[in-house]
Every structure is written in C-alpha cells, then in structure tokens.
C-alpha cells in the first residue's frame, strides 16, 4: 500500500461509526469475491504533482464505491453519510506529507440489478514535508 492508501485505511479503521455501517469491510481497489454487503472499496484514480517555487504538493483523486443489496437505498444513504463524516473537509495523517484538504468532487447513486452503488470522488491535497523534499 502507498502512504496515502494506508492513511485512508487508517481513517476508516479508527472510525467506529464508519466500521459499524461497512460491516463487509473497506477494501483497497477491489473487494474479495465473497465479500458480504454492505461494504466499500477505495481506489486512487490519479496523483498529479503540483509544483511551485516553494511547494511540492499533489492532487490525489480517490474514488470510493459503496455497495448494498437491500431493497431500498436507505442503508446506502447511511453509508454515504458515514463516509462524508469521515473524509469530507478532513485531512489525512501522513508521514512524508501533510494533509491540507479533502473535498468531495461528486457522488452518483445507482442501482444495477439488485445492488445499490454509490460512487464518490474525493480530491485530497497533500504537501510533501520539507524534511523529505
């Protein structure tokens, strides 16, 4: 796992409310074939350097997908709220970087066959610590 993936995992792992709604876990890139719903999957979509004369930053786009097999979308809506409470406008704890910002770029709810899905995109702005530049 990269440092940012570890930080995202740690944020989930230390959040009792989020773990309570994602009873099937929170998986990096893909869930196991036999994962029990409800669960979430996170994946880094891109990490784009943003260099200036004095800053070494990265814009990291992370996609989180939430899955529920309940008939109504109420469970999925609760999962979305828990994800928002954990990540939106929060920072990540990193070693070589300082978390500056996290903002949601979009969220799409859909249903395919009998499975509800929320696809959420977050932008994390991180800055490399001076000591490791």
Exposure class string for 55-83: b at 16+ Cβ within 10 A, else e: ebbbebebbbbbbbeeeebebbebbbebb
Q: Is residue 55 part of a domain?
A: yes
Structural domain boundaries enclosing 91: 3-128
Strand partners, 123: 61, 103
Q: CATH number, domain at 22?
A: 3.30.2000.30
pLDDT at 132 (0 to 100): 63
In a domain, 133, yes or no: no
The answer for 77, left when phi > 0, alpha when psi is -120 to 50, beta otherwise, is alpha
pLDDT at 87: 93
Q: How do residues 107-128 score in pLDDT, each as one tens digit? A: 999 999 999 999 999 999 998 8
Q: pLDDT class for 55, splitting at 50, 70, 90?
A: confident
């Amino acid at each position: 796992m990269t440092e940012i993936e570890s930080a995202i995992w740690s944020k989930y792992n230390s959040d009792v409310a989020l773990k309570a709604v994602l009873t099937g876990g929170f998986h990096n890139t893909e869930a196991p074939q036999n994962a029990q719903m409800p669960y979430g999957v996170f994946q880094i979509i891109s990490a784009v350097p943003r260099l200036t004369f004095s800053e070494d930053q990265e814009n990291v786009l992370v996609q989180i997908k939430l899955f529920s097999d309940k008939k109504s979308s109420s469970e999925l809506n609760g999962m979305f709220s828990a994800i928002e409470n954990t990540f939106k406008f929060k920072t990540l704890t990193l070693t070589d970087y300082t978390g500056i910002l996290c903002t949601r770029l979009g969220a799409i709810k859909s249903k395919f066959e009998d499975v509800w899905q929320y696809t959420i995109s977050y932008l994390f702005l991180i800055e490399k610590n001076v000591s490791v530049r």
